[in-house]
Amino acid sequence: MSKRRIVKLFESRSGNLEDRLKKDYIQNGVVTIPCRVSDYNDVISNYSVKGFETLNQEFVDFIKRTDEVIPPEYPVVLNIISDTLSAEEKKAIKETIEDHFAYELGVVENHEKRHTRTFILMLIGMVLSGILLWLTRTLEEESRELFFVLFWFLGDTLCDYIFLTGHDLRHNRRLAGRLASVKIIFSDVFEKPKYTDTNREKLYSEIEKDVEETIKD
C-alpha cells in the first residue's frame, strides 16, 4: 500500500467520542468523573499550608481534560475515590476544589468583560468611521482612504469576535461555570453511578439554587 493511500485512510477514519462519553461518563443526563486518589496530596499540593490549600496541578489537569470533551449541557459530579481520607481532609478537599474553580470562573468572567468592552468600543468606532465615510463621500478617494482602512479593519475584527473569538469565550464561560458548579462526592470504592430521574432533578435543583445565590451576591 502506498504512503499516500495510507495517509488518506487515516484522514478518512472517524472517531467514536460520543459513544465513549456515554459509555464512560454520561448516565441519565449527568456526568460523573471518577478520580481515584492514593492520599490527600494527590489532590492538595505539597506546597500548600493548612488553611491556604491549593490544588495539585496534575489533579486539575485531569478534571479539565475530561470536562473539555463533554458537551456543556450536562452537569458534572466529581467522585473522589479513596478509603484513606479523613473527614477533615475530605472537608478541606471539597472546599479547595470549590474555591479553585470559582476563582477560575472569575478569571474567565474578567476576560470576557474585557473583550466585551473592546467589542463595544470597536463597534462605536466602526459606526463613526462609516458616518465619516458617508459625510466625506464627495471628497476624492485618496482623502478618504484612512476611513476606508479603519472601517474594514474594524469590520473584519468584529466579525472575528462574533464568529470565532466570541464563540470560544462563550464556550469557555460555560465550561468554567459548570466546573464552578461541580458536585463533589467521596467513595471508598468505585461503583458505576446510576442516576434515577429523581436524583437528576435533585441535582439540577441544587445547581439552580447555587447559581441563583451567586447572582444575588
DSSP string, 138-157: TS-GGGGHHHHHHHHHHHHH
> pLDDT at position 188, please?
94
Phi, psi (deg, nearest 5) at residue 48: -70, 155
Mind listing the pLDDT tens digit for each residue in 137-166? 766 666 677 777 777 888 888 777 777 777
Looking at residue 183, its pLDDT comes to 94
Q: How far apart are CA 147 and CA 134, in angstroms?
A: 10
pLDDT category of residue 1 using cuts at 50, 70 and 90: low
As a whole number, mean pLDDT of residues 195-212 equals 88
Rounded to whole angstroms, the Cα distance separating 107 from 173 reads 10
Domain ranges of the chain: 31-201
| Predicted pLDDT of residue 136 | 78
Transcribe 37-54 into DSSP letters.
-SSGGGTB-TT-BTTB--
